[in-house]
Structures are given as C-alpha cells and as structure tokens.
Chains A and B, each alone.
Chain A
Amino acid sequence: MTRLNRDTYVAILLLLFCGVFIWATFDIRQPDYGVLMPSTWPRVILSALTLLCFIFLIQSIKAGPDEEVADPSREPGFVGFLKYWRNPILCFVMFFLFLLTLPILGMLIGGISFVFLLMTLLGGWQPKQLLIHAVISVCAVGAMWSLFTFGLEVMLPEGVIYNPYMN
C-alpha cells in the first residue's frame, strides 16, 4: 500500500472534526423568534470548512507520500519522536500540571514551582543552575504576582497551602 502524505492524515482528522460539529449543530435549540437561527451561521462555516477540507484531502493525496527530510538530530521511532519534541511536550505537560495543582498551590506557589521546574527540566540541574533558576522564578513570578495583587488589585487564585487574601 502506498504511504499517505502527512497532510492527508490532517485532512481526515479535520473532516472528522467537521462531522462532529455538524452533528452538534442539531443539538442547538431553535427559538420561535429571530431571523437568523442560532445554528445557521455555524452550519454555513462548517459547510465551507468541510468543502475546504475535501479540497485539502484531494490535494494531499495528489501530492503523494512525504519526502523523507534528513534531520540528523531526529532519531527514528517513537523514542526518537519523543526526544525530538521533548521540550514542547515538557512545556505542555508542566503547564497542564500547573493548572491541575492550581486550586491547591495557588498562583504564587504554583507559578514559582512551574517556572522553576520547567527551567530545570529544559536547562539542566547543576547546583549553580538550580540556584539561578530558583532566583529567577521567585523574582519574576513574585514581582508579577505582587504587581497584579497589590498594584492592579486582581485576586489571583489562592491555594489551600497559602491564601494571601484570608484575613
């Protein structure tokens, strides 16, 4: 079987996405009033999007399989993929964990921990680096947090561990 173009997979995914959203337009309640029904505009967009995705699919199939781009820094296989995309994946995972722990740690502790851990994961954990990362994360997040909390009077998420807004 001929291998498919990377764009072909994207086009198929986009078509599936369109299908789900077209299906979801039937769940939109239609009121008795108004000229433009709430589902009309999304359906117009989705029709155009579906048509464009079909064109994209045909274009990608016509283009044939991807040419192998020799990137010396990229190793083959799943492990190679993980190594190549290590940094962006780490950023996503760490930000995800930061959001997950936000109700417990709060913005100040959570933010400092997030910046410190991410810097350490991306930059390395030599003792000198750890010290620099700790200073940068405390100063940067601390300053920003203070500016919003005291300067702009924005209530940032408080945590279970430390709640600065509790009297």
Chain B
Amino acid sequence: MIVEYLSDAFNHFSLALQGLWIWKTMALMAIGVAAGLIAGAIPGFTIAMAVVLTLPFTFSMPPEQGVATMVSVMVGGLSGGLMAGILTGIPGTPSSVATTFDGFPMARGGRPGLALGLGVWSSFFGGIFSAICLMTLAPQLARVGLEFQPWDFFMLVMFALTITASLAGRHLVKGLIAGALGLLVRTVGEDEAVGMARFDFGTDVLLSGFDFIAVLIGLFAFSQLLSDVRDPDKARISLSEQSAVKARIDHIGALKEIAKRWIVVLRSATIGVFTGILPGAGGSVANILAYDQAKKASKTPEKFGTGTPEGVIAPESSNNAVEGGALITLIGLGIPGDVTAAVMLGALLIHDVVPSPTFITDEPVLVYSIFTAFFIATFMMIILQSFMLRVFVLVTRIRMYMLACVILGFCGIGVFALNNVTFDLWSLLWFGILGFLMRQFGFPLAPMILGVVLGNIAELNLARALAITPDLTPFFTRPWSMFFLIIAVFSAAFPLFQEHRGRKKWTLFYMPLSCFAASIPLFMMGGIPRPIIASIVVGFGAWTLWKRWKSGFELDASLAPEHVYREG
C-alpha cells in the first residue's frame, strides 16, 4: 500500500516537474520570486496584495504555469519582508514584525550581513520544512476530508469564519460582523442553486454579482494603499530617507550559526505549519509565537531584543512555513488557511479547478505542480535574494505616494482584465472605500475576505444537506459537524478566556472543558486512531483539572493580561 502510494506520488511528481521544467515557466517563476521579494520588502505592501495583483497576468497561462507563478510570488513575498525589517527596522510585511526585534539591533550593531544571512537561510529551511509537510500531510488530510458530508462542510466553513473572527480578540463582535458581511456580499446576484436574482435592486449589472477578486483587491489592496498615504509627510518620504540601507549577505557565517541552532529552526517551522493550517491565523501570528517560544526556551532570554541570532532565526523560519500549512487545508479540504491562500483559491477557480477533498485524486498533476513549484521557488529565493537586495536599495529611493499611485493604476488595469467588464472597476472602488472605512473603524478584514470566498461553499453545502434531508439535527449530531461546532464555540469564547484569565474562576475550567467536549465527537468517529487521540485529549483535560484541584482552584495572577503585557 505504502509502496503503491509512493510510486503514484513519484509519477505525479515527475509529471509535474516535466510540466514546470520549461524555460518559460522557470522564467515566470523567477520573475514571480523576484517580484515577491520586492513586494514583501516594501512596508505597506502585503504578500496577499502581491499575489492578488499577479492573478490577472495568469489568465492566459495554463493552470500549472499560472499557479506556479503565483506560488513563486507568495514564496518571494514571505522572504522579502526581512530585508526592510533588518535594514530599516520597518517590517515589510506583518509576518516579519518579530524579525525586526533582533534583526535591526544586529544590523545596527555592525552585523547587517549576518542578520540578513540568518533571515534568508532560516526562511529557506522553514520553506523546505513546510513544503515537505505540504507534500505529506495534504494527501492525508484529503483522505479525512473524503469522509465529510455537506453538513460537515457547512460547519467547517462556520468554524473557519468563527476562528478568524476570534483573532480580533476583544473585538470579536466586529470580527463576526465582518464575516457575516462577507457572506452577504457573496449572495448578491443569481443564486447558485436555482438561478434566481437576489439583491439586484432592479439593475442588470448586479445580476452576475460581484467578482470576488475585484472585491478582494478593493477590500485589501486598495484600502491598504490609501491607509499608507494618509499622512502627507510620510507619503512624501522614501524608505532610504528614514534609515540607511546598505549590506551584503554573509551566507557562510549564517549557515554556521543556524547549524548550531537547528532545533530553533525545527520548532519554529513546526509552529509556522500548524499556525498556517489554522484558518485565518497566518504569518503575522506565527512569527510572534515562534519568537516568544524561542525566547522562553533560550538559556539567555535576556539577550533577546539586543541582536541575538535566535531572535532572527525563529520568526523567519516560522513565517515561511505558514504558507505550506495554509495550502495543506486548501488542497486537502478546499478551505483556505489565510488571505493569501484565499487568493490562490480564486486563481484555481478562474482556471475551472475547484479544490475539494477529491482535488488530489482528480487533478494529481496540478496538485503536484503546486508542491513542486513551492520547492523550486524556495531554492530560487535563496539565489535571487542577494541580487534583489540591490534592487531593494533602489526601490527604497522611491517615494511612497509614487508607489501607491502606480499600484492604484495597476489595480485598475488588472481588475478590468478579470472579466473585461467596467463594472468590476466600480466594485473595486466601492469595496476600496468599504475596506478603508472598516480599517478606520477597527473591523478586521480577514473574516470578511474569508466570508466572501467561502460564502458560496457554505450555501451550496447547506442546499445539498437539505436536499438529502430537511432534518437539521445532522448539523449537530454528525461527529465531524459536532467537532467543528464545538471548536467553533470554544474558539469564539477564547478572547473572553484570555481577557479574564488569572482573574475569574471559570477560566480554570476552560481548558479541561474544551478537551472533554472535543473528545466526544472524536470517540463517536470510531476506528482505532481517533478514539486513541480522544483518550489522550481527555487525559490532558483530566490532568489539567487535577492540577487545578491540587492547587485549590487558586487563580494565578501572573496569567492576567495586564501582567503579561507588563512582562512583554
């Protein structure tokens, strides 16, 4: 069985490699990595934005080539943020915020080459680890996904939206409102089940609904650019005027340092992959989490923040590993792990490829092309990084307002090219305004974007479920539905738990209770491995409860949020 699986995998891999190993695709991938590196290095220009803007270029390409180009931009973008973060102290992307904590002091301390080398090689190893996880875990997850029925898919979408909204922390309600708005946007136009017009308000243009890529670019890219130029003084200065930008990468020194700290790379990359699998979390969470864990595990935590190598290795290994994790859920279940993966889903849909648990069996060559492109792009990133550093120095001389204006112009051309319809440009403008207002009023955009992307999947599965039986109880009684419902409820309560932790008694029972509740559907699934996992989960819950009982259910004040902030 394993031999057969490996043989199939090898065949698909060689077919995918044959498809990609042509000069045109390789050239496009190299351009993609280079563009991603520069886009990631420009503060205010996110990876998702870069991938979104690449999408219109891929229309005329075959699916394998188009997706490989987008994967390359994504991989480049993940590594590009470190250049700005280390050399200027301004993180290029939210995924490289923690890199600046030690990377910038190291560069300021006279070792910019080593800091860059550590960042580049940690990104490389994180990316390779993530690509291996992607190749091995995605098929397994898809196998689990084959058990899913419409009720389970519907609840999975609800879970993805809830957990994304819960990342808004104290603004959970705003996150949930944003998610619901996203779902509502997707209902405009003809419904997919019976083709009836909805919310067209008597106009023909709204009959076909909003193109979701135009909505994504508007909500995300357009609104971000406007936020970047809000301050007229900052908009008129270039990055190089804010800080000196000059360095050469010290590859050998960095590799020696990383070899001594390989465990940090492994731990941080694992954190990255699992954060990526979690819908909505993404690199911005993973790099901070990995930095925090590296600091906790270090024998010299007091050196963190002064330019210690672990402080660069941890965030950079984790943020590059995130996208592999996000692609695992996209390929295995058809549910994007973050905004960038959501755009990748859009790209696949444009090429008439619908990711689902059967995606790997239906389109093995395309799936293996994604895996292979991820690998190749990671190697290209290492080669191109030194060269792009020089280009980055040139880009830093351009003023922010100039970049914003040119990119707005590109957004216009790119969005029109989606369907050759002017209405998409109007969608871009209206959703740009909406996204900008949402940012200003503190509404997170990620739940809305996931709502727009997953809206029709939720509705179609609801329709399928009701076509099988009008009974609603399977939504709550089927093991997988119940599992997603339980973790959705606990993830929604998580911000409340964090707020009252160490201050209110009920928080002592949150963890044990969530373990006991999550184990019920796992036991119901039957077989051998899942009840074993359920027993471990119950055991962990019982052990936590026993520890609390032993301490007389005493509250630990050091866990209270304000104490944690003070420590930080």
Please give the residue numbers on chain A whose beta carbons come within 8 Å of chain B beta carbons, in ascending order. Answer: 6-7, 10, 14, 21, 24-25, 28-31, 33-36, 38-39, 41-42, 45-46, 48-49, 52-53, 55-56, 59, 73, 85-88, 91-92, 95-96, 98-99, 102, 107, 111, 114-115, 118-119, 122-124, 133, 136-137, 140-141, 144-145, 147-148, 152-157
Find chain B residues with CB under 8 A from A30 CB. 196
The one of B201, B401, B432 that contacts A122, using a Cβ cutoff of 8 Å: B401
What separation, in Å, do the CA atoms of A43 and B441 have in the docked complex? 26
B429 A119 Cβ-Cβ under 8 A: no
Give chain B residues whose Cβ lies under 8 Å from the Cβ of A21.
184, 199
Is A31 a contact partner of B196 (Cβ separation < 8 A)? yes
Identify 9 new A-B residue pairs, CB closer than 8 A, beyond the known A31-B194, A102-B425, A118-B408.
A21-B184, A28-B196, A88-B229, A91-B404, A99-B425, A122-B229, A122-B236, A136-B406, A157-B422
Q: Is B463 an interface residue (CB 8 A)?
A: yes
Q: Please report the C-alpha to C-alpha distance between residue A33 and residue B191 in the assembled complex, in whole angstroms.
A: 14
Instruction: Say if the beta carbon of B466 comes within 8 Å of chain A.
Output: yes
Report which B residues bind A (CB closer than 8 A). 56-57, 59-60, 173-174, 176-177, 180-181, 183-184, 187, 191, 193-194, 196-199, 201, 225-227, 229-232, 235-236, 399, 401-402, 404-406, 408-410, 412-413, 416-417, 420, 422, 425-426, 429, 432-433, 436, 441, 458-459, 462-463, 466-467, 470
A52–B402 contact, CB under 8 A?
Answer: no
- Specify which of A39, A59, A95, A122 is in contact with B412 (CB 8 Å cutoff): A95
A144, B410: Cβ atoms under 8 Å? yes
Are A152 and B426 in contact, with the CB atoms below 8 A?
no
What residues of A have a CB within 8 angstroms of the CB of B417 in the complex?
Answer: 148, 152, 154, 156
In the complex, the answer to whether A49 meets B177 with C-beta atoms within 8 Å is yes
Interface pairs A-B: 4 shortest CB-CB: A38-B196, A36-B463, A49-B180, A88-B226
| A6, closest chain B residue (CB) | B441
Which of A34, A38, A39, A48 neighbours the largest number of chain B CB atoms within 10 Å of its CB? A38
Are A95 and B429 in contact, CB atoms less than 8 angstroms apart? yes
Q: A92-B429, A102-B422 are in contact. Are A119 and B198 (CB under 8 A)?
A: no
A49 in contact with B226 (CB, 8 Å): no
A29 to B198 Cα, complex, angstroms: 8
Q: A155 to B422, alpha carbons, bound, how many Å?
A: 12
Kindly provide the distance from the CB of A90 to the nearest chain B CB, expressed in whole angstroms: 9
- CB-CB under 8 A from B201, the residues of chain A are 24
Q: Are B432 and A92 in contact (CB under 8 A)?
A: yes
List of A residues within 8 angstroms of B187 by Cβ: 41-42, 45
Given A34-B193, A42-B198, A152-B59, A115 and B409 contact (CB-CB distance below 8 Å): yes
A119 to B407 CA separation, bound complex (whole angstroms) = 11
> Is the CB–CB distance between B462 and A41 below 8 Å?
yes
CB <8 Å contact, B226 and A36: no
The dominant DSSP class at the B interface is: helix
Shortest distance between the CB of B198 and any CB in chain A (Å): 5
> With A31-B194, A39-B198 in contact, is A111–B420 under 8 Å at CB?
no
What are 22 contact pairs spanning A and B, CB under 8 A?
Answer: A29-B197, A35-B467, A35-B470, A36-B462, A46-B184, A48-B176, A48-B180, A49-B177, A53-B177, A59-B173, A87-B235, A88-B229, A95-B408, A102-B425, A115-B406, A119-B402, A141-B413, A147-B57, A152-B56, A152-B59, A153-B60, A154-B59
Interchain CB contact under 8 A, A88 and B413: no
Known pairs A41-B462, A96-B429; A115 contacts B408 (CB<8 A): yes
Q: Name which residue of chain A comes closest to B202, CB basis.
A: A27
Is the CB–CB distance between B463 and A35 below 8 Å? yes
Collect the chain B residues with CB atoms within 8 Å of residue A35's CB.
463, 466-467, 470
A42 cross-chain contacts in B, Cβ below 8 A: 184, 187, 198-199
- Contact (Cβ within 8 A) B416 A107: yes
Tally inter-chain residue pairs, CB-CB below 8 A. Answer: 172
- Complex Cα distance A156/B416, Å? 7
Determine chain A's interface SS by DSSP, over half rule.
helix
Residue of A nearest to B411 (CB): A95
Q: A52-B180, A91-B229 are in contact. Are A99 and B426 (CB under 8 A)?
A: yes
A49 touches B184 (CB 8 A): yes
In the complex, what residues of B have CB within 8 A of residue A98's CB? 412
- Does the CB pair B235–A122 fall under 8 Å? yes
Q: Which of B401, B404, B405, B416 contacts A157 (CB 8 A)?
A: B416
CA distance A75 to B379 in the complex (A): 52
Tell me which of B60, B225, B404 contacts A152 (CB under 8 A).
B60
**Bound-state Cα–Cα, A95 to B458, Å:** 34
- In Å, the complex CA distance between A85 and B405 comes to 16
Contact of B194 among A33, A96, A140 (CB under 8 A): A33
CA distance A156 to B177 in the complex (A): 36
Q: A111-B413, A154-B420 are in contact. Are A38 and B199 (CB under 8 A)?
A: no
List, in ascending order, chain B residues with CB within 8 A of A144's CB.
Answer: 409-410, 413
Q: Which residues of B contact A119 (CB under 8 A)?
A: 401-402, 405
**Complex contacts, B60 vs chain A, CB 8 Å:** 152-154
List B contacts of A111 (CB < 8 A). Answer: 409, 412-413
* Chain B residue at minimum C-beta to C-beta distance from A50: B180
Which of A36, A88, A141 lies in contact with B409, CB distance below 8 A? A141
Whole-angstrom distance between the Cβ of A106 and the nearest chain B Cβ: 11
Q: CA–CA, A135 to B249, complex, Å?
A: 33
Which residues in A have their C-beta under 8 angstroms from that of B196? 28-31, 38
Closest residue of chain A to B459, judged by CB? Answer: A41
Q: Bound state CA distance, A53 and B184, in angstroms?
A: 14
- How distant is B265 from chain A, measured CB to nearest CB, in Å? 39
**In the bound complex, what is the Cα–Cα distance between A92 and B430 (angstroms)?**
9
CB distance from B176 to the nearest CB of A (A): 5
Other-chain residue from B181, B198, B441 in contact with A10 (beta carbon distance below 8 A): B441
- Chain B residues lying within 8 Å of A45, measured Cβ to Cβ, are 180, 183-184, 187
Residues of B within 8 Å of A39, CB to CB, are: 198
Q: A154: shortest Cβ distance to chain B, in Å?
A: 5
User: Shortest Cβ distance from A51 into chain B, in angstroms?
Assistant: 9
**Which single residue of chain A is at the shortest CB-CB distance from B443?**
A10
Contact status B177-A145, CB under 8 Å: no
Instruction: Pick the most buried of B198, B426, B441: most chain A CB atoms within 10 A of its CB.
Output: B198
Q: Which chain A residues border B235 with CB–CB below 8 Å? A: 87, 122-123
Residue of A nearest to B438 (CB): A10
B193 close to A38 (CB less than 8 A): yes
| Known A38-B191, A38-B198, A49-B184; contact A156-B232, beta-carbon cutoff 8 A | no
